[in-house]
Amino acid sequence: MLYRPLGRTGLEVSILGFGAMRFPILDDKRDRIDVPTAADMLRYAFDHGVNYLDTGYPYHGYSMEDPGNSEAFVGDVLAEGYRDKVILATKLPPMVVRTRADMDRILNGQLERLRTDHIDCYLLHGLHGGFWRKMRDLGALEFLDSALADGRIRHAGFSFHDDVASFKEIVDAYDWGFCQIQYNYMDADFQAGLEGLRYAAERGLGIVVMEPLKGGRLAGRIPTSVQALWDGAAVKRSPAEWGLRFVWNEPGVSTVLSGMSTMEQVVENVAAVEGALPGSLSAEELRLIEQVQEAYRARMTVDCTACGYCLPCPSGINIPNVFRHYNDITLFDDPVAPKGGYGFEVVIGMTAKASDCTECGQCEAACPQGIPVPEKLKEAVGALE
C-alpha cells in the first residue's frame, strides 16, 4: 500500500480509501447490508493496508428521524481490533440539522454507533451554497471548534457539491484540515474540479476524492468505442484501474474513496495501487485518457459545455447540471443512475426541477452554443423525471 499526507493534519492515509456507501445488499434493499460479505471486504482492505474508512449518517437507508445502517455496521467491524489501525471519517448531515443542539446530538449518536470515543475526520456533509449558509448560520463552525476542543473529533473538513466559486468561499471561511470533492477524468471541470482541488491543496488542505469512477460508470458498461481505446494501450489496465490511476496522478490528492460493492472490486483496487505515484502516468497514457474523454463526449445528447451563461435561471433550474445528468444516460448506457443523481440534487435544493421551466427564453438567448435550451429541458424531463 502507498500512503500520502492528509494535508497539514499530520495523518498519513492510504491512497485507496474505502467508501462505506455501497456495500453489497440483500433483496435490493439499501438498508439490508450483506453483513458477512461486507465484513470480509473490510477485513481484506484493512489487512492489505487500507487505513482510511469513510462512512456517513445517511448511508444504507435513513429517514429524517433515523440514521442509515452503515455507521453501526462499520462500528461492529472496527470493534474486532481494527479501530486503532483505521482513520475513521463520518459526517454531519445538514438535511437533518435544524438547531445547534442537533449537531451535538447527532455527533454523540454517531460515536455510540461507531463504538468509539472520537472521530478522526469529521465532515460537514454535501455542502452546496444553501447548506453552507444554513450550517454557518446555525453555528456549525462554533460546533466544530467545540468538538475539536473536547476531543470528540480530531480533524474537521467538509464534502462538497456545487460550483468552484462556492467551494473557494468555504475553503477560505474556516481552518479546515481537509475537504472531500468529486473528481474523475470526466469531471475535471465539474463542481470544485481540478481548479478547486489545487486551490485547496495550495492552502494545505488534505484532498479526499469521491466518485473517482463516476459512481462505477467509468468501470461498468463500457461503450465499444471506449473499450477499443483501452484495448489498444501499451500497458494493459482495466477501465477501473485507468480511472483510479488518473486521480492518483494528481499530486494534491491525498486519498481516493472507492465505494466497493464486491470482494472482486476490493482485490482489484488494492492491486491497482502498485506504482500509483503522483505524476507517474506517461504523456502517451495521458493522451490516451484524453481520447477516451473525447469518445465519451461524442455520445452526448446535448452539446453543453457548462459555461454557465444560461444562469441564473429565473425558475432556479441549474441548467448545466440537468443536461449533465441527461447526457450521462447516453454516455454510459445507463437510464437509471442519472435519475438518482438528478433527484438527489432536486431534493437537497441544488436545482429546481427541469419541469419548472417557464420557457422564458432567457437561457436560449444567452447560450453561446446555440442550444434550444427549453426544448432540451423538455426532453430531459421525459428522461429524468
Residue 103 lies in a domain: yes
pLDDT for the residue numbered 168:
97
Residue 297 lies in a domain: no
Both 54 and 199 in one domain: the answer is yes
Of residues 244, 239, 173, the one with CA closest to residue 210: 244
Taking CA atoms, 371 is separated from 266, 303, 361, in Å, by: 42, 8, 11
The radius of gyration of the chain's CA atoms, rounded to the nearest angstrom, is 21
Residue showing cell 436545482: 351
Both 226 and 83 in one domain: the answer is yes
Domain stops at, among 272, 289, 306: 289
Instruction: State the residue range of the domain holding 335.
Output: 319-384
pLDDT at 203 over 80: yes
Residue 40 lies in a domain: yes
> What is the rounded distance in angstroms from the CA atom of residue 69 to the CA atom of residue 18?
16
pLDDT for the residue numbered 306:
77
Both 36 and 97 in one domain: the answer is yes
Residue 309 lies in a domain: no
Both 19 and 110 in one domain: the answer is yes
Residue 294 lies in a domain: no
Both 209 and 117 in one domain: the answer is yes
- CA 172, 177, 180, 186 dihedral sign is positive
**In this structure, are residues 92 and 83 in contact, taking their beta carbons and an 8 Å threshold?**
no
Cell of 4: 500520502
Both 227 and 374 in one domain: the answer is no
294-313: pLDDT as tens digits = 999 888 899 887 777 798 89
**Nearest 5°: phi and psi at 14?**
-65, 140
Domain stops at, among 271, 289, 307: 289
The CATH code of the domain that includes 160 is: 3.20.20.100
Both 246 and 333 in one domain: the answer is no
Residue showing cell 426541477: 353
Which of 211-215, 245-249, 366-370 is the most confident on average? 245-249
317-356: pLDDT as tens digits = 999 999 989 998 988 888 898 999 899 889 888 899 999 9
Q: Which residues contact 193 (CB under 8 A, 6 or more apart)?
A: 164, 181, 183, 187
Both 124 and 269 in one domain: the answer is yes
pLDDT at 370 over 90: no
pLDDT for the residue numbered 162:
87
Both 274 and 323 in one domain: the answer is no
State the chain's mean pLDDT as an integer.
94
Residue 285 lies in a domain: yes
Domain stops at, among 241, 271, 289: 289
pLDDT for the residue numbered 190:
85
Residue 78 lies in a domain: yes
Both 248 and 147 in one domain: the answer is yes
Of residues 93, 25, 30, 34, the one with CA closest to residue 61: 30
pLDDT for the residue numbered 217:
83
Q: Which residues contact 365 (CB under 8 A, 6 or more apart)?
A: none
Query: 27-36, 154-163, 212-221, 286-295: which range is least confident on average?
Result: 212-221
How many structural domains does the chain have? 2
Q: Which residues of 304-329 are buried (b: 16+ CB within 10 A; e: fewer)?
A: beeeeebeebebebbbbbbbbbbbbb
Q: Is 280 exposed, middle or buried (0-12, 13-18, 19+ CB in 10 A)?
A: exposed
Average the pLDDT over 127-141 and give the result: 94
45-94: pLDDT as tens digits = 999 999 999 999 999 988 777 899 999 999 999 999 999 999 999 999 99
pLDDT for the residue numbered 63:
78
Confidence (pTM):
0.86
Between β-strands 87-92 and 119-127, what pairing exists: parallel, antiparallel or unpaired? Answer: parallel
Banded pLDDT at 379 (limits 50, 70, 90): very high
142-184: pLDDT as tens digits = 999 999 999 999 999 999 988 899 999 999 999 999 999 999 9
pLDDT for the residue numbered 84:
95
Banded pLDDT at 365 (limits 50, 70, 90): confident
pLDDT at 2 over 80: yes
Both 262 and 373 in one domain: the answer is no
pLDDT at 367 over 90: no
151-162: pLDDT as tens digits = 999 999 999 988
pLDDT at 271 over 80: yes
pLDDT at 193 over 90: yes
pLDDT for the residue numbered 19:
96
Average the pLDDT over 123-127 and give the result: 94
Both 117 and 254 in one domain: the answer is yes
Residue 310 lies in a domain: no
Q: Which residues contact 321 (CB under 8 A, 6 or more apart)?
A: 342, 345, 350, 351
